[in-house]
Amino acid sequence: MSEVQSVPKNLNSPNLSKEAVLEDFRIAMISRHASLVGRKEVFMGKAKFGIFGDGKELAQVALARAFQLGDFRSGYYRDQTFMFAIGELTVQQYFAQLYAYTNVTAEPASAGRLMNGHFATRSLNEDGSWKDLTKKYNSAADISPTAAQMPKLLGLAYASKLYRENKGLKDLSTFSVNGNEVAWGTIGNASTSEGMFYESINAAGVLQVPMVVSVWDDGYGISVPNEYHTTKGSISEVLAGFERSDAQKGIEIIRVKGWDYEALLNAFASAGELARTSHVPVLIHVLELTQPQGHSTSGSHERYKDSKRLQWEKEWDCIAKFREYILSNKIANADALDKIETEAKALVKQEKEAAWSAFSNEIKKELNEAVVLLKAAAHHSTRKVLINQLADELSKTINPIRKDVMVAVRKALLTLRLDSPAAKADLKAWYEKQNDLNFDRYNSHLYSQTEWSALKVEEVPAQFNDNSPLVDGREILQSYFDLTLEKDPRFFTFGEDVGKIGDVNQAFAGLQSKHGELRVSDTGIRECTIIGQGIGTALRGLRPLAEIQYLDYLLYGIQMLSDDVACLNYRTKGGQKAPLIVRTRGHRLEGVWHSGSPMGMILSTLRGMIVCVPRDMTQAAGMYNALLKSDEPAIVIECLNGYRLKEQMPLNLGEYTVALGKPEVLREGTEVTLVTYGSMCRIVMEAASELAEIGINIEVIDVQTLLPFDVYGIVGKSIKKTNRVIFADEDVPGAGTAFMMQQVLERQEIFKFLDSEPQTITAQAHRPAYSSDGDYFSKPSVEDVIEKVYALMHEVDPKKYPAI
């Protein structure tokens, strides 16, 4: 472990010229005053919340000097100085985010969808195509959960390894220059207590990737000091066992003081060079940082720091020490530094006012339009006094937001309900137009809106003939993956047991030896960073297939999927995409673990991802093919008991696609529509055959994808014919079936066509019991389906269908 101390350099060198030093001082002062002013704006009520990077300025300007074009950052919400220093954040943009300005040009990181301190660069052009990432500084879109930036950081660094070592990727010159790009991560000292941090560090050491992690250590995690967070109170000491040696690979560990300018420059320069040239991961533990304004605007740090600590922080503030350094080295005199600070303060004020003016004027314009329309409506209304009162109150609102405007207009429209349509026509038209605008501002881009949307992938049916051989289902997947690995160098897969043995169900059997370890890779047991590895590589233009061995193991990676990839397109308003495909398996199996179908959890947490639930492997291969033609993230949940079942090998394997969002009618019927998916399709189809023998003809529909759900209205059309519906799956009651029912009842408007109460068939509320009997009594059986359908028909015609 090396501890970097100040080593005086020639001030005429590129990294430490007088001009460079004073520019770093200027950036630091701008950032500090942005923090101070930002806090005041929150307390004045002009923003909801603020969290700032004061106290970390000096380390971040040093980091910026080591950061190169093509590099990626995956950090956290105190990195404003760094973003200022690399020119990817202006002061006006900084305040636009604080105010939640929804203009994507004014606030390009998130279009006002995230609180301040969440930084991102736009990797995509307006049409969703990739920019040349090698010619720009890149920041992966930030997320708030502590340490959640780390798994993605691993993936960003792993992409460089693939670009350097996989010769098939050499033509992708807009994504990498021979894998020279470094992935730079930043994290607070307290967040290093999270398991995601340790898992990512361990994986980086195993994979040997160009990842540099900076730990900003100010001694606290909100109010809790380091001794409660970390053994020995020092993350670098804890990680000493990971440190590389002459005999063993590992990580490089550097310790440096956060107020020591020259040492910081040396530390970041050497870490960047080592990672860039040799792909060695590095941890830089930046010690003795301060946090002058405390954690955030939610409270004062004086509540938990004693007077001695507060005095130390004042004396050892990195900007105060930087000023001392400049003066002692005669780089500039006090008057020159005072002038820089004065100009920085004035710039922050000017840009803050410009941001506020742009933000507030747009809303005031809408408010004024609404006031005019309200008064015009009042003139023609029988409730003139009330409408004018709404208009007057709205016009007097201090620092109005859009909510104020829309509340007044909606109240007015309710008040006008008894007046003639003409009295409210203009107000209602304006309101409807604003609804469209506000949908775009606050609700758009949950899914791709580009030409590569999954919904736009053309359906190509699988083709068969009389000579199509019957094979195990897993052989169809194996052949499909083999073809895809051959034709698309961007495609690769990794996960537990995927490599040498070809996954536990043999869909990749023999493919590692054929295509190499970089294309079909084993990983450790680390689902969280398997997902992160996929996210980071997808952010850099690759097409990863990340395997989670069993569906219940998805719990280890669900936060990364939910908080990062599922909402990435939304929270950047189309600025970044990570078309990761997660492959896993579940449904019919015996026992508490590996056998559940937690679709309710997936549907609630993964909005923004495509959720595919194929009933067999032919269908799964068509879904994978469709997904690889799209630019959207997805999860494909294969049927655990389907790998050895016989299926016909398609003639056009690798060419056919399944239409995502389009259910398939497996069996036509006239009396009941039964909607299901996955392994339940076989159960339901067997039940349908038995029911037909007693004169009950049910229509069976496989939804194929739960997200998106039936964008063609196929289920609704069936119900209009049968007038009855049952939703069936293997999830717990009130989960997947409740979702399907809500989608059909509300979005397809079929309630008026129902002659019977809609029904559900589900597994028991507990996890499945072990053994074949446990499976039978825990999950829906053929007999359960028959009895449920029969009971429904008994209610319809008791004479024809007497009680069992």
Average pLDDT over residues 497-501: 97
**pLDDT of residue 10 exceeding 70:** no
| Residue 281, helix vs strand vs coil | coil
Lookup result for tokens 């690979």: 249
For the chain, give the longest Cα–Cα distance. Answer: 103
Q: Report CA-CA distances (Å) from 354 to 99, 102, 343, 359, 372.
A: 12, 15, 16, 9, 27
Mean pLDDT across the chain, nearest whole number?
95
| Rounded Cα distance, 684 and 686, in Å | 5
Dig out the tokens for 100 from the structure: 């939640």
Q: What residues are paired with 675 via a beta bridge?
A: 701, 727
270 and 298 Cβ atoms separated by less than 8 Å: no
Provide the pLDDT for residue 84: 98
**pLDDT of residue 644 exceeding 70:** yes
Provide the pLDDT for residue 11: 52
Q: Which helix (H) or strand (E) holds 427?
A: helix 421-442
Which segments within 602-671 are labelled E, that is strand?
Answer: 610-612, 634-639, 646-648, 664-667
Residue 351 C-alpha from the chain's centroid: 31
In the DSSP assignment, the letter for residue 151 is H
**pLDDT of residue 525 exceeding 50:** yes
664-667 and 698-702 as β-strands: parallel, antiparallel, unpaired? Answer: antiparallel
In this predicted model, what pLDDT tens digit does every residue of 599-623 receive, in sequence order? 999 999 999 999 999 999 999 999 9
Q: Which helix (H) or strand (E) holds 159?
A: helix 149-165
Provide the pLDDT for residue 595: 74
What does R_g of the chain's alpha carbons equal in angstroms?
Answer: 30
770 and 737 Cβ atoms separated by less than 8 Å: no
Q: 178 in the Ramachandran plot: left (φ > 0), alpha (ψ -120 to 50) or beta?
A: left
**Could you tell me the strand order of the sheet in which 698-702 lies?**
664-667, 698-702, 672-676, 725-728, 759-761
In this predicted model, what pLDDT tens digit does every residue of 226-281 receive, in sequence order? 999 999 999 999 999 999 999 999 999 999 999 999 999 999 999 999 999 999 99
In this predicted model, what pLDDT tens digit does every residue of 372-395 receive, in sequence order? 999 999 999 999 999 999 999 999
Provide the pLDDT for residue 267: 97
Which band of pLDDT confidence, cut at 50, 70 and 90, is reported for residue 9? low
515 and 500 Cβ atoms separated by less than 8 Å: no
| Rounded Cα distance, 37 and 15, in Å | 30
Dig out the tokens for 681 from the structure: 């399709």
Dig out the tokens for 522 from the structure: 């084993």
Q: Report CA-CA distances (Å) from 137 to 89, 280, 452, 555.
A: 11, 21, 25, 33
Which band of pLDDT confidence, cut at 50, 70 and 90, is reported for residue 333? very high
Lookup result for tokens 């190169």: 68
- Size (the chain), residues: 804
Least reliable range by pLDDT among 220-234, 530-544, 776-790: 220-234
| Rounded Cα distance, 626 and 113, in Å | 30
What residue type is 702 in one-letter code? Answer: D
| Rounded Cα distance, 286 and 219, in Å | 11
What residue type is 625 in one-letter code? Answer: N
| Rounded Cα distance, 296 and 221, in Å | 11
In the DSSP assignment, the letter for residue 211 is E
Dig out the tokens for 80 from the structure: 């404003």
Which band of pLDDT confidence, cut at 50, 70 and 90, is reported for residue 584? very high
618 and 651 Cβ atoms separated by less than 8 Å: no
In this predicted model, what pLDDT tens digit does every residue of 43-81 receive, in sequence order? 999 999 999 999 999 999 999 999 999 999 999 999 999
| Rounded Cα distance, 218 and 236, in Å | 14
Average pLDDT over residues 335-351: 98
Provide the pLDDT for residue 593: 84
**pLDDT of residue 484 exceeding 70:** yes
Provide the pLDDT for residue 12: 46
Torsion, Cα 744 745 748 751, to 10 degrees, reads 130
In this predicted model, what pLDDT tens digit does every residue of 292-308 receive, in sequence order? 998 888 888 989 999 99
The catalytic site residues sit at: 594
Dig out the tokens for 385 from the structure: 């006094």
Nearest alpha carbon to residue 561 among 624, 604, 606, 598: 606
**pLDDT of residue 568 exceeding 90:** yes
Average pLDDT over residues 726-753: 96
What residue type is 204 in one-letter code? Answer: A
Q: What percent of the chain has pLDDT over 70?
A: 99
In this predicted model, what pLDDT tens digit does every residue of 79-107 receive, in sequence order? 999 999 999 999 999 999 999 999 999 99
606 and 637 Cβ atoms separated by less than 8 Å: no
